[in-house]
Structure 1
């Protein structure tokens, strides 16, 4: 009697499809676990601010463009997408909050299968997938595209801020 484990796949392409599905599921689990950690620390921070009376409510994109904040156009981390590089700006325009919001939330999923930003779903947002990196600076395994920003990774609090903005609904104003 042959066991099921001894029987090979019915078709070789079925095995390849299962392998791709498994890799994608693993990638989603890893990104979800990382984002849960980011969001739990953000929630802890938000609840401590609420107790202190300093919580300003849900994040809005226009506040992330303030001087010294994540999407400040003159900041090195976003300058390519704020007009410095025409190709980068054509792909993702971060020149103003309104253009950034349209570019981030209205773009259809490209070759990645994920939207750039999926409001209220940080783990399904390709933006966070490319912002997160492995310890050695390489892109997360299985994430399509280059890690961003290309020169220097964003700091942990900046990634948490972006994840919070997405979790709060990715609102403009």
Structure 2
């Protein structure tokens, strides 16, 4: 017989998500402090929800990526600015310059393939779709459990998967 754990009055999932997003901010802040260039072979893939509150992308990019997009910070980016809650950066899309503003709360993945490091998290968006089921959620949404897992093979990818209590 398995007992259901009691509901937590401490929002652990929010605290962990916020801490992981602070890692992204700190890494980007170190790039800014280092003169705006990435050290060595480091480069970043940053995936975010384009419709999340506070995200600012040109209309043509939002039309091409209505849900989510991934940007690469490697050789050609400029004006990287990191604030406590967001970052902005200039990038070129099909040789057309664009400025993007991305709150850390909209980020769903951060990867530095040069050192096999990655973070994945849920975008912090309004709970309009409480009845939606994510098949990749491994049952967490149904049973309300929280999971923090690292991938096998010794990689440094951390996945945070917090289910919603019904």
Q: Same fold (TM over 0.5)?
A: no
Q: Which structure shows the higher helix fraction?
A: 1
Q: TM-score per shorter chain, which class?
A: under 0.3
Larger Rg: 1
TM-score with structure 2 length normalisation?
0.26
Q: TM-score, normalised by structure 1?
A: 0.25
